[in-house]
A and B are shown apart, each in its own frame.
Chain A
Amino acid sequence: MFSSLRSLWLVFLKMFKRNVTIPYPEKKAYLPPRWRGRIILSRDPDHNERCVACYLCAAACPVDCISLQATEDENGRRYPEFFRINFSRCIFCGYCEDACPTYAIQLTPDMEMGEYNRQNLVYEKEDLLIDGVGKYPGYSFYRQSGVAVGVKPKGGGDKEDAPVDVRTLIP
């Protein structure tokens, strides 16, 4: 009895409080930078694709929404021939981002992906690939490691020494 009256009074007092809801299309909620939203493929600072088509993201994906096909350019650099994410299946778990060895695949704070046609939720590589570097501005996988595939000469990486010439006697 008393608790009912008390809850009546407390609910009545809510009248003078500010709304907790946000009128969404007019005002947008703050999405933190690490929000797991729409997936993108980023480029490295030299404007090359970061993706090396290693299939780790496709393997990590619990709902199998990523599909890609690896290929190589004339220098032997691997890149995806196509890269397709079916966002009608994607659960935005972020495992692909975790698995990616080159920081290529990233989740962004964007969740406004509504479509009238289900097929439009299948994003191809040109939809996914952005011009920027995403969350990791200076990072370029081929500058750190990997074989010479036209990005850097052998031993030309950032933390790499020039290869030792085993035939010379000069120290």
Chain B
Amino acid sequence: MSETWAQILIIICVLLGTVTIAAGLIYVERKMLAVWQQRSGPNRVGPFGSLQVLADMIKIFFKEDWIPPFVDKKVFILAPTIIMLSILMSFSIVPFAPGLVVADMNVGLLFFLAMSSLGTYTIILAGWSSDNKYALIGGVRGAAQMISYEVFMSLSLMGVVLQTGSFNMTDIVNSQKGLWNVIPQFIGFVIFLLAGIAETHRLPFDLPEAESELVAGYHSEYSGMKFGMFFVGEYLGITLISCMIALLFFGGWLGPSFLPGIVWFLIKMFAFILFFILLRAALPRPRYDQLMGLGWKVLLPLSLLNVLVTGAIVLLNS
């Protein structure tokens, strides 16, 4: 019985923790972008603007939740929930520390890949149901981008899986006790990072949104808390990808023992979140065909090669 309660407690902690982190990232992102662009960023609400998130939340809750008359109403309402749901589901396989995991599945990594693919539906459905040409272009771009990056996102992880011999996240972390996966699987790491950026449609690869060309892309027609869900979903996606990078390539909670495992995990996770924000601060958006060319002509063959070489090495060593 107490085990059940412990499990429920972990679920609540993970749910609240991830959503809080995702909401807090609104402030972190704005502040860090400002720091890297030599501005001051939010500094009005609370000390150093730290209550900005609260103010944004209050604002977004009091905005009119407008559903335009021309939209496909059911799909329009459904679309923003999918991204939140699928990403929160993915968090269930993330081991934050030894034992601190919602579902320690033996196909954890596959579950993550499946769930992150479901996030595509958000973009397609939102773009489709909005009945707006910008939203539709954004949705189509999002679909193409995510389908093509999905392919080698999973392929780039196969190197890690081959080395570990398991899809279980805890096993993958434990196998990195001697050496973090980032060194033997460096190509896999780079490909997964790029695919992760494309998967969360973050700024260098934010073609579905592309506010300088498509207004706001697939969520042009959204307002109020529905827009807020896209927003929080995007930050949840960043958190998730950062978690996965930390777990798969940087040894998760492993680290010198003067700090507890979860702290090491959070340090690594936040380092990658900050890297994502740095990418946004520094890099321009590639053209659509450049993005596709990079994906299919460079990263896909590279990831296949990576799987081949890793497989050969694993076969020789066994």
B278 at the interface (CB under 8 A from A): yes
**Closest CB of chain A to B211's CB: distance in Å?**
20
Closest B residue by C-beta to A10: B282
Chain A window 11-31, contacts with chain B (Cβ cutoff 8 Å), 1 for yes, 0 for no: 110110111110100000000
B38 at the interface (CB under 8 A from A): yes
Alpha-carbon distance between A10 and B36 when the two chains are bound, in angstroms: 9
Alpha-carbon distance between A23 and B35 when the two chains are bound, in angstroms: 14
Neighbour of B38 across the interface among A7, A8, A12, A17, CB < 8 A? A17
Closest A residue by C-beta to B39: A21
A14 near B39: Cβ-Cβ < 8 Å: no
Chain B window 269-284, contacts with chain A (Cβ cutoff 8 Å), 1 for yes, 0 for no: 0000000001101110
Chain B window 119-138, contacts with chain A (Cβ cutoff 8 Å), 1 for yes, 0 for no: 00000000000000000000
B36 near A8: Cβ-Cβ < 8 Å: no
Neighbour of B283 across the interface among A7, A12, A14, A23, CB < 8 A? A7
A20 near B39: Cβ-Cβ < 8 Å: yes
- Which residues in chain B, 4-24, are within 8 Å of chain A measured between CB atoms? none
Alpha-carbon distance between A15 and B37 when the two chains are bound, in angstroms: 8
Neighbour of A15 across the interface among B36, B40, B43, B283, CB < 8 A? B36
A8 near B40: Cβ-Cβ < 8 Å: no
Could you tell me how many residues of chain A have their Cβ less than 8 Å away from some Cβ of chain B? 14
B40 near A19: Cβ-Cβ < 8 Å: yes
B38 near A11: Cβ-Cβ < 8 Å: no
A21 near B283: Cβ-Cβ < 8 Å: no
Q: Is the interface of A mostly helix, strand, loop or mixed?
A: helix
Alpha-carbon distance between A13 and B39 when the two chains are bound, in angstroms: 14
* Residues of chain A contacted by B282 (CB below 8 angstroms): 4, 7-8, 10-12
Could you tell me how many residues of chain B have their Cβ less than 8 Å away from some Cβ of chain A? 12
A12 near B36: Cβ-Cβ < 8 Å: yes
A4 near B283: Cβ-Cβ < 8 Å: yes
Chain B window 30-57, contacts with chain A (Cβ cutoff 8 Å), 1 for yes, 0 for no: 0000011111100100000000000000
* Residues of chain A contacted by B278 (CB below 8 angstroms): 8, 11-12
A23 near B38: Cβ-Cβ < 8 Å: no
Q: Which of A4, A10, A11, A18 has the most CB of B within 10 A?
A: A11
* Residues of chain B contacted by A21 (CB below 8 angstroms): 38-40
Alpha-carbon distance between A12 and B32 when the two chains are bound, in angstroms: 10
B36 near A14: Cβ-Cβ < 8 Å: yes
* Residues of chain B contacted by A14 (CB below 8 angstroms): 35-38
Neighbour of B35 across the interface among A4, A8, A10, A15, CB < 8 A? A15
A19 near B36: Cβ-Cβ < 8 Å: no
A23 near B39: Cβ-Cβ < 8 Å: no
**Closest CB of chain B to A21's CB: distance in Å?**
5
Closest B residue by C-beta to A3: B283
* Residues of chain B contacted by A7 (CB below 8 angstroms): 282-283
**Closest CB of chain A to B43's CB: distance in Å?**
7
Alpha-carbon distance between A19 and B38 when the two chains are bound, in angstroms: 4
Chain B window 152-178, contacts with chain A (Cβ cutoff 8 Å), 1 for yes, 0 for no: 000000000000000000000000000
**Closest CB of chain A to B191's CB: distance in Å?**
14
* Residues of chain B contacted by A18 (CB below 8 angstroms): 38
Alpha-carbon distance between A12 and B274 when the two chains are bound, in angstroms: 10
Closest B residue by C-beta to A12: B278
Alpha-carbon distance between A23 and B92 when the two chains are bound, in angstroms: 43
A11 near B39: Cβ-Cβ < 8 Å: no
**Closest CB of chain A to B177's CB: distance in Å?**
30
* Residues of chain A contacted by B283 (CB below 8 angstroms): 4, 7-8
Closest B residue by C-beta to A20: B38
**Closest CB of chain A to B9's CB: distance in Å?**
38
- Which residues in chain B, 214-244, are within 8 Å of chain A measured between CB atoms? none
Alpha-carbon distance between A12 and B36 when the two chains are bound, in angstroms: 6
Q: Give residues in B with beta carbon < 8 Å to A.
A: 35-40, 43, 278-279, 281-283
Give me 8 other A-B pairs in contact (C-beta within 8 A), A8-B283, A18-B38 excluded.
A4-B283, A7-B283, A15-B35, A19-B39, A20-B38, A21-B40, A23-B40, A23-B43
What would be 18 A-B contacts, judged by CB atoms less than 8 Å apart?
A4-B283, A7-B282, A7-B283, A8-B278, A8-B279, A8-B282, A11-B36, A11-B278, A12-B36, A14-B38, A15-B35, A19-B38, A19-B39, A19-B40, A20-B38, A21-B39, A21-B40, A23-B43
Top 3 A-B pairs ranked by shortest CB distance? A11-B282, A20-B38, A8-B282
